[in-house]
Structure 1
């Protein structure tokens, strides 16, 4: 199995957003969801990937973390 940065898709109370993505990003999200599917399971839909990916990105952005600790 490929080791991906995104593994745990915890459930949380959602906030509805409407966004537009380039087609290439949408296709990549679909491919990522297929990779996350285990043993023939249904692929993870792109809508379930976006929030955890953004969360992971912000958690690993050192400059953003420094800014947040100064302003919180």
Structure 2
């Protein structure tokens, strides 16, 4: 199975980070672990779910058109 083209999340960039903690259902944690295993298989770098979560959230927010529209609207309303 060629997962390289089927995963929405590509190779991970190196970035500065901060730590936050959140709770999720056990079923979601299992899915995140499965995704991490597929990601490692596709890109050759072993990563855990905790490493992937920020990039998944970033991709989700980048794809949320309503959020982007409101963000742009707020930036226009705020004088520089």
Which residue is equivalent to 2:49?
46
Question: How far does residue 43 in structure 1 lie from its aligned partner after superposition?
Answer: 3.8
Q: State TM-score, norm by structure 1.
A: 0.87
Deviation track 1:6-31 (CA, whole Å, cap 9, x = no partner) reads 01211211111011111111100000
Determine if the alignment matches structure 1 residue 62 to structure 2 residue 75: no
Higher relative helix content? 2
Q: Do the aligned residues in 2 keep the contact of 1:9 with 1:48 (CA within 8 Å)?
A: no
Gaps of 5+ in 2: 76-80
Q: Do the aligned residues in 2 keep the contact of 1:30 with 1:45 (CA within 8 Å)?
A: yes
1:8 and 1:42 map into 2 onto residues whose CA distance is: 9
2:40 and 2:47 map into 1 onto residues whose CA distance is: 6
Q: State TM-score, norm by structure 2.
A: 0.79
Matches for 1:1-72 after TM superposition, within 5 Å: 1-2=2-3, 3-38=6-41, 41=44, 43-72=46-75
Over alpha carbons, which structure has the higher Rg?
Answer: 2
